[in-house]
């Protein structure tokens, strides 16, 4: 199971359409852009829009906090197990 963190503050559980792995198009749909993968440790990753800052997307404070404050995340972000990437 993965969790989607939206800039609006909304959070929700999401699952891959295939049941096992998220496809590239699914990930791009969640973050509305090209994906960037940020390792979080413990086998978890954060997926966000690689061009989010250039697009002027708002800061996602919840997702930024999930990186331990190391990364400023903008736009919607997905946190999942690394093993869920196709």
Q: What is the pLDDT of residues 23-53, one digit of tens each?
A: 999 999 999 999 999 999 889 999 999 999 9
Task: Write down the pTM of the prediction.
Answer: 0.94
At 15, list the tokens: 């699952």
Other beta carbons within 10 angstroms of residue 39's beta carbon come to: 11
Task: Judge contact between 78 and 11, C-beta under 8 A.
Answer: no
User: What is the tally of structural domains in the chain?
Assistant: 1
Reading the block at residue 48, the tokens are 């966000």
Dist CA 39 CA 9 (whole Å): 22
Distance CA 62, CA 72 (A): 10
- Which tokens sit at 20? 């096992």
Structural domain boundaries, residue 64: 2-84
Amino acid 69: pLDDT: 87
């Amino acid at each position: 199971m993965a969790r989607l963190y939206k800039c609006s503050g909304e959070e929700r559980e999401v699952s891959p359409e295939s049941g096992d792995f998220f496809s590239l198009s699914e990930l791009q749909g969640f973050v509305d852009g090209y994906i960037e993968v940020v390792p979080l440790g413990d086998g978890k990753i954060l997926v966000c829009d690689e061009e989010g800052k250039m697009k002027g997307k708002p800061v996602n404070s919840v997702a930024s906090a999930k990186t331990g404050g190391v990364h400023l995340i903008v736009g919607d972000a997905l946190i999942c197990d690394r093993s869920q990437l196709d």
